[in-house]
């Protein structure tokens, strides 16, 4: 029997799980990065996937890049590989659907950057997160300097990146790196799926528009962000779900619409 794919997309009831499966630590080597790009692209394109959970199993999310693989690379090797490295994480960030990372064990280096590429992060109480690249004489190279600083602010990001220290889920929650802490590591995935499942019958194009307006607006000035929002808002009047939602509101009150995702 062949080994399972190191990254695979599993789909059930409208929720897609991008599952990392490279024991023991889900080290993100080049093959994992390429597989992650493929899985994220597939999750974004499949109509039966309405929300996505990224999960590494009950023991570990991802402990970072494969240092043994990287140690022998030259400058030109990394110039060539760094484009693909960032592309894999950017593909996750650009999945046009709600995404959540279910973090257990370690989410370090590239693992933390993968969690940062998701919309939300739920973590086990004993999880450890961090960007320890400085301890290797490096800096984060898959979005850590950019996404972390946007999420928790530049001062906190600099503290974590300058020191390379690991933080527990409690501190991660306090600074806004983690959105929910789950007491039992075995329950993190279930909590993440429960959150994602609420969107399985949601207004897919409205959710997509909301994500794009927020993400694109954060990298623009306020006036540009408002224009992005205006265009997305107006465009939703072309969707069937907008008609269904407004009709349901007028006839039955809020929260009872049965959306069709079109």
Q: Taking the chain (262 residues) in consecutive chunks of 10 residues, what is each chunk's mean pLDDT? A: 78 97 93 95 97 96 86 87 89 98 97 98 98 95 95 98 98 98 95 97 96 95 96 96 94 90 88
113: annotated active-site residue: yes
Q: Which of 58, 113, 171, 240 is catalytic?
A: 113
Same domain, 136 and 221: no
The DSSP result for 123-147, as a single string, is EETT-EEE-GGGGGT----SSIIII
Q: Please state, in angstroms and rounded to a whole number, the distance separating the CA atoms of residues 34 and 36.
A: 5
| Residue 189 belongs to some domain of the structure | yes
Is residue 64 domain-shared with residue 182, that is, in the same domain? yes
- Whether residue 164 lies inside any domain: the answer is yes
Same domain, 175 and 210: no
In total, how many domains does the chain have?
2
Closest Cα to residue 85, out of 131, 35, 133?
A: 35
228 C-beta neighbours (distance < 10 Å), count: 18
Clarify whether residues 171 and 224 are in a common domain: no
Whose tokens are 């490096």? That residue is: 138
Instruction: Judge if 248 and 172 occupy the same domain.
Output: no
Q: Which of 45, 133, 212, 240 is catalytic?
A: 133
Same domain (yes/no): 85, 215: no
Distance CA 5, CA 3 (A): 7
Check: CB of residue 8 under 8 Å from CB of residue 19: yes
- pLDDT of 73 reads 87
Query: Cα–Cα distances in Å, from 220 out to 116, 157, 184, 216?
Result: 19, 20, 39, 7
CA 93 to centroid of chain Cα atoms: 6
The CATH number covering residue 193 comes to: 3.90.226.10
Tell me, yes or no, whether 209 and 124 share the same domain.
no
Residue with tokens 């240092």: 67
In this structure, is residue 261 part of a structural domain? no
pLDDT at 9: 97
Is residue 233, in this structure, part of any structural domain at all?
yes
The pLDDT of residue 3: 54
**Statement to judge: residues 153 and 233 lie in one domain:** no
> Active site includes 227?
no
pLDDT value at residue 139:
95
Q: Do 162 and 183 belong together in one domain?
A: yes
* Domain encompassing residue 128: 7-197
pLDDT of residue 119: 98
168 with 225, same domain: the answer is no
Token pair in block for residue 249: 């509101």
What predicted TM-score, i.e. pTM, was given to this entire model?
0.94
pLDDT number for residue 85? 85
Q: Do 75 and 185 fall within a single domain?
A: yes
Count the neighbouring beta carbons within 10 Å of the beta carbon of residue 20.
Answer: 25
Q: DSSP states of 24-70 as a string?
A: TTT-B-HHHHHHHHHHHHHHHH-TT--EEEEE--SS-SB--B-HHHH
Contacts 24+ apart (CB under 8 A), 237-246: 239/203, 239/205, 239/206, 241/203, 241/204, 241/205, 241/206, 242/203, 242/206, 245/203, 245/206
What CATH number is associated with residue 211? 1.10.12.10
């Amino acid at each position: 029997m062949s080994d399972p794919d190191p990254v695979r997309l599993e789909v059930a009831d409208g929720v897609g799980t991008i599952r990392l499966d490279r024991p023991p630590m889900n080290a993100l080597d080049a093959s994992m990065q390429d597989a992650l790009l493929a899985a994220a692209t597939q999750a974004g394109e499949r109509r039966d996937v309405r929300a996505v959970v990224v999960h590494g199993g009950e023991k570990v999310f991802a402990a970072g890049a494969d240092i043994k693989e990287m140690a022998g690379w030259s400058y030109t090797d990394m110039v060539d590989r760094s484009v693909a490295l960032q592309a894999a994480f950017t593909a996750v960030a650009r999945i046009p659907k709600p995404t959540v990372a279910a973090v257990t064990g370690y989410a370090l280096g590239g693992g933390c950057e993968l969690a940062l590429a998701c919309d939300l992060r739920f973590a086990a109480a004993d999880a450890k997160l961090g960007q320890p690249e400085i301890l290797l004489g490096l800096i984060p190279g898959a979005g850590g300097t950019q996404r972390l600083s946007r999420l928790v602010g530049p001062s906190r990001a600099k503290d974590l990146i300058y020191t390379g220290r690991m933080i527990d889920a409690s501190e991660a929650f306090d600074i806004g790196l983690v959105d929910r802490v789950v007491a039992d590591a075995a329950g993190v995935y279930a909590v993440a799926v429960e959150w994602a499942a609420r969107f399985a019958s949601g207004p897919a194009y409205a959710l997509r528009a909301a994500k794009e307006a927020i993400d694109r607006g954060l990298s623009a000035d306020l006036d540009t962000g408002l224009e992005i929002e205006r265009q997305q808002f107006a465009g939703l009047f072309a969707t069937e779900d907008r008609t269904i939602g407004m009709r349901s509101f007028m006839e039955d009150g809020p929260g009872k619409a049965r959306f069709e995702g079109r």
